[in-house]
Chains A and B, each alone.
Chain A
């Protein structure tokens, strides 16, 4: 699961069957980088760094553009939330009110992509 920001909504006039009526959102993951102190992340707060990549997620919770979401990835997560037949592998699991990241700890972890 990852934390990302909804940067747009996606509509299709013609959609694959079973994607009908499902809301699709474009999500860009939050990028962590070192710093000092704690950073609060939320829709009403200044943007943290966002990743260059983005992806489309199926959303049943009604996430709006500018909100932060927790997304689950993979076919198992899809099966367990939307059902087996839905043609997506990324699902919005939660709308995040607030996230807090300790920037001074980020460097410790490494984890370069």
Chain B
């Protein structure tokens, strides 16, 4: 799981049938997490109805599909939790 901030939403009408009725959000990861693709955002399925600006925990990979209740969803990332509060130790500042 990774920590990130919801920065946007996207809409698509033509899509894989499994993605029908799933809300998608654009998430900016808080820390680098060594993804397959070397880019600065990820798109995640959102079933918690997040708003832009909210910090979230995103489940990546198979657990993200479990979160949707079926591991046949062709989905890489799912919002697992909306963060209320974070308490970081001093190690977090050395980034």
Contact = CB atoms under 8 A, between A and B. Distances in A.
Interface of A: 1-3, 29-32, 38, 41, 51, 53, 55, 61-62, 70, 72-74, 76-77, 80-81, 89, 91, 93-102, 105-106, 108-113
B79 interface: no
A101 B4 contact: no
B53 A70 contact: no
A89 B37 CA distance: 11
B15 interface: yes
Of the candidates B18, B52, B76, the one having the most CB atoms from chain A within 10 angstroms of its own CB is B76
B31 A110 contact: yes
Nearest to A90: B37
Contact of A30 (B9, B15, B41): B41
B59 interface: no
A110 B28 CA distance: 7
B75 interface: yes
Contact of B74 (A30, A80, A111, A113): A80
Contacts, number: 138
Interface residues of B, number: 43
A113 B10 contact: no
Given A105-B52, A111-B30, A96 B39 contact: no
A74 B76 contact: yes
Contacts of B9: 99-100
Of the candidates B5, B10, B30, the one having the most CB atoms from chain A within 10 angstroms of its own CB is B10
A2 B24 contact: no
A106 B38 contact: no
B7 interface: yes
B28 A73 contact: no
A31 to B, nearest CB: 6
Interface in B1-59: 4-16, 18-19, 24, 26-32, 36-44, 52-53
B42 A70 contact: no
